[in-house]
Amino acid sequence: MEQLEQFFKTDDGWDKTALRLAVGGVMFPHGAQKLLGWFGGYGFNGTMGFFTDSIGMPWVMGFMVIMVEFFASLAILAGALTRLSAFGVMVVMTGAVTVAHWQNGFFMNWSSKSEGEGFEYHLLMIGMCLALIIGGGGKASIDRMVFQRLKT
């Protein structure tokens, strides 16, 4: 029971809440592009085709990327299973750096002078997710409510 409490434990500050809203709010559109085709995305079939046919990603990995980006972002926004969800996003971002962005260098492609995007965005997301893994979901989170119930 104590391990379960530790999993949901979070402080009473608003800082983690703000962090959660930033991570979830930025990640959600990426997941919605991949799963639903929203925001100019290709949807599930198009994204899976790109992952498996164009870059040779195994089907299960492509499926997991789509599911994590969409469902973990929603969970992070709600502060539900924050640590697990943030870990999932951190793994996806690390994979994106190693598979697709490392060779493009550090900087994002603001000027369209290079072929692809660098990995600075991914590093920010990795750092923000790490902070959520360490600190939990913050004041306005489902995790905090679960923790308080577990303590009583």
Half-sphere exposure of 62 (CA within 13 A, CB side): 19
State the Cα–Cα distance between residues 88 and 14, nearest whole angstrom: 23
Tokens 């991914």 belong to which residue?
Answer: 122
- Residue 63 · residue 51 · CB < 8 Å: no
Q: Which candidate, 92, 112, 83, places its Cα nearest to that of 26? A: 92
The tens place of each residue's pLDDT in the chain, 152 residues long, gives: 788 888 999 988 899 999 999 999 999 999 999 999 999 999 999 999 999 999 999 999 999 999 999 999 999 999 999 999 999 999 999 999 898 777 777 777 666 666 777 788 999 999 999 999 999 999 999 999 999 999 88
- Residue 84 · residue 97 · CB < 8 Å: no
Type of residue at 27: M
Q: What is the pLDDT of residue 110?
A: 66
- Residue 44 · residue 53 · CB < 8 Å: no
pTM: 0.91
State the Cα–Cα distance between residues 69 and 91, nearest whole angstrom: 10
- Give me the residue spans of the domains in the chain: 2-151
Half-sphere exposure of 12 (CA within 13 A, CB side): 1
Neighbour tally for 62: CB within 10 Å: 19
